[in-house]
Structure 1
Amino acid sequence: MRRVIGCNATYGVGGIGQHLAHMVEESRAAGVLGGYLVPEGKPGDAQAQSVSSPWWMRYVHACPPIRWSPSWRNHLSNEAYDRALAAALPADGTAYMGFVGKSLRTFRAAQSAGYDRLELVAANSHIDNVAAQHERAATQTGIRDTWLNASQQRKTRAEYDAADAIYVHSEYVRQSFLDAGFPASKLIRTHLQPAPRFQPPEARPDDKSFHVVYVGRLDATKGLPLLIDAFAQWPHPNAHLTLVGGWATPVMRRYMQAALRADPRITVAPGDPLPTLHTADVFVHPSFEDGFGYAPAEALACGVPVIATEDTGMAESITDGANGYVVPTGDTDALIERLDAVATHPLATTASLWPEQATHPVPAVN
């Protein structure tokens, strides 16, 4: 088999970029990598082919109302890059692997070119579950900032139907497809790992403060309003909350600005999360839906206990009371209770809390 992989993320950058890198390296190790098409590949990698998004997308993104809609910006970016991938697809592959929401056009091009296998990487749970969880987030928080719209939902369902195999990377994702009626035989389980650079510090600060950290997009679908509400109600006298990330909508900007004015203990610090993780006592991931969750996995690797929701894929790597806690999604009281538990019985260490797992290579399917 000669597998060609396509994705609109830079190799190793961000959650999707890390997921892409994992699939590329597992395919390379299995001896089936025929090349990968990306905006920017691994430096010096002869198997990386650069494919740029159409130049006109920057103008589309700047046009109201698209500029204020995360869902339309996301969908149109995926659609434009899917078309670019379809035009750049090599003719000598036998299997094409793409990511959900950005593969339907390339699937059709691969079939026309004689590829005999179409593979899909499900970065999130089944798209209908994502839609339901994002709607739940909007209802509970009053902020609607989903990256998903009906057009992308329809396209993703068509990709599911066209794919010969769907790669899932957590039991949460796998079960969502089983619940939607997909046969287990169509699902292939992979196991993601945090990047090696995420290691515990030699020593943690002893400044008598309790440092709570969140890393990721600052939006409602990630549960940020719940975390901020929980933190505001939590009576710990020396607690500080650091949010590593940025917002994408005017509504979330206004919400965050108001939250920062109301509570000086909260700090927004975008950039590399590693230095912040090295000062953390606990990491909170209150997301309404995450297929995996690289940020909380990276926190565990840095020796930081994690409080995560049950709708986060990497929650399967948390053992309650040992390296963190899993809480019901959308439950502010549960967040407060577990913050109390970690503050009372500290779990942060100078050793990794990420469980060692066996390597499960991407199968070299005949």
Structure 2
Amino acid sequence: MYKVFMGCIAGVGQGGLGGHLNFVYQSVKHGGGAAHVFTSSPSSSSSDGINKIPSPTWNKFVKYTPMRWMPATKVYWESVYFDREVSIQLAKMPIVYHSFPGYAENSFRKVRGAGGITVLEAATTHVSELYSDTNEEHRKYKMKGSPFHKLWVERVMREYELADYITVASQLQKDSFIRQGIRPDKLLFSPLGVNTERFQPVPEQSSLIPRAKGEKFRIISVGQVSLLKGFQYLLEAVKMTEDREIEVTLYGGIGWRSIRNLILDYMKSGIDIKLGVGDPVPALRNSHLCVHSSINDGFGLAPLEAMATGVPTIVTDSTGMKDAICHGVNGIIVSPRDAKGLAESIVKLKNDDNDRIRIAKAARLATTNYDFRKCVAQYSEVLSPIWKSNGVSLAN
């Protein structure tokens, strides 16, 4: 039996990044190995297989102005600190070490120096394209700053060079890295999976029955409410419809004051907008349609979860999980930044209950190919040769 090491600032299964970590963690176990995790999650307790990285002493100050409104700087500081602390704790021996963009540079240098193997979980498209798309949106909406610090971007670029392998979960990601000069043989392809037991439809939920006359047409968008996720194009599309029966729920965290102000502007224009956080399953089951109007999303687990819950879903062709969609059969694919095209698709599904319900049922069926257990087995099959060739024996 072998041991695989991994580092992630989020705890196993906590949030988007933690969910990705859990996917890798379960894949190691599926392959017969043991996982050793470094994390700084407050809710993670130090135990066998878990090394808790303490929070930096300055962390208590970041909730105050001006740092609370400088998320990019905060993330950069956290990533450098976390990586440095992990690199100190890593034994100088030939291990296999998985980490995430921004959190790996020092650790990767140490692992490679000891003859080990480094695996970067890409999580996004190539960082240069991610950064470019983000800045384009911020310029367009006249928002200062960027969610990504330039020093963080440069750090990730160095990590690409230090990684022996980079895992990608979609064809969109793979194409992005190849476009930017990463060798194809360095990329390991394996899609992420969805928990189809947790995310499953129930009888008579809104998406699977005809809408009552005068009932609100409820659209949900799940994920971080940011310009990169494209919520602004959803709101603009709804505004174009001039249909007061449409209600939009933005289900996710809002990290920028200017984003809140933009949402308020759309509310003032007459759009019915609700905000939500927490477990999205009840909200999904109460929705007629999910829209993921992202500008750039390497995979997009949230819309896949919506499909698994039996909710018809519209995504952009800049969303990696479009791999799971056959346009017009089990979902709808639109162009990014195309509010008019999105509005037309929304109106069509609103006015055609039969088509909406047909797509909803097909969406659920399509996600069986992305069941978490099936994807864990696939990822394990792809990575096991690497883990077994250089994974530390449990005797060590």
Q: Shared topology, TM-score over 0.5?
A: yes
Cα distance in structure 2, aligned partners of 1:216 and 1:351 = 19
2:221 aligns to what SS in structure 1?
A: strand
- Structure 2 CA distance for partners of 1:255 and 1:232, relative to 1, 3 Å: same
Which piece of structure 1 moves more, 259-268 or 19-28? 259-268
What 5-or-longer segments of structure 1 have no aligned partner? none
- Structure 2 CA distance for partners of 1:252 and 1:298, relative to 1, 3 Å: same
| TM-score, length-scaled by structure 2 | 0.85
2:364 aligns to what SS in structure 1?
A: coil
- Structure 2 CA distance for partners of 1:302 and 1:63, relative to 1, 3 Å: same
Q: How does 1:1-366 map to 2 (within 5 A)?
A: 2-40=3-41, 46-59=48-61, 61-62=62-63, 64-91=65-92, 94-112=95-113, 114-144=114-144, 146-195=146-195, 196-205=197-206, 206-207=211-212, 208-263=215-270, 265-343=272-350, 344=352, 345-346=355-356, 347-349=359-361, 352-357=364-369, 359=375, 360-362=378-380, 363-364=383-384, 365=386, 366=389
1:311 aligns to what SS in structure 2?
A: coil
- Structure 2 CA distance for partners of 1:300 and 1:42, relative to 1, 3 Å: farther
The answer to whether the Cα contact below 8 Å between 1:125 and 1:173 also exists between their aligned partners in 2 is yes
The answer to whether the Cα contact below 8 Å between 1:145 and 1:219 also exists between their aligned partners in 2 is no
Offset at 1:168? 0.8
The answer to whether the Cα contact below 8 Å between 2:240 and 2:340 also exists between their aligned partners in 1 is no
Offset at 1:89? 2.1
Cα distance in structure 1, aligned partners of 2:134 and 2:292 = 15
The answer to whether the Cα contact below 8 Å between 1:3 and 1:93 also exists between their aligned partners in 2 is no
TM-superposition CA deviations, 1:246-278 (whole Å, max 9, x none): 311221122222323333521112222111100
Cα distance in structure 2, aligned partners of 1:330 and 1:145 = 21
- Structure 2 CA distance for partners of 1:43 and 1:238, relative to 1, 3 Å: farther
Cα distance in structure 2, aligned partners of 1:188 and 1:55 = 37
Cα distance in structure 1, aligned partners of 2:60 and 2:315 = 35
Cα distance in structure 1, aligned partners of 2:109 and 2:73 = 23
Cα distance in structure 2, aligned partners of 1:311 and 1:342 = 21
Cα distance in structure 2, aligned partners of 1:307 and 1:286 = 8
**Structure of higher RCO (CA pairs closer than 8 Å, 6+ residues apart):** 2
Cα distance in structure 2, aligned partners of 1:34 and 1:279 = 38
| TM-score, length-scaled by structure 1 | 0.92
Cα distance in structure 1, aligned partners of 2:115 and 2:203 = 50
Cα distance in structure 2, aligned partners of 1:264 and 1:361 = 43
Offset at 1:235? 3.4
Measured on the aligned residues, the alpha-carbon RMSD in Å equals 2.3
Structure with the bigger percentage of helix = 2
The answer to whether the Cα contact below 8 Å between 2:244 and 2:271 also exists between their aligned partners in 1 is no
Q: Match for 2:330: what amino acid?
A: N
What 5-or-longer segments of structure 2 have no aligned partner? 390-396
- Structure 2 CA distance for partners of 1:324 and 1:350, relative to 1, 3 Å: closer
Cα distance in structure 2, aligned partners of 1:43 and 1:53 = 13
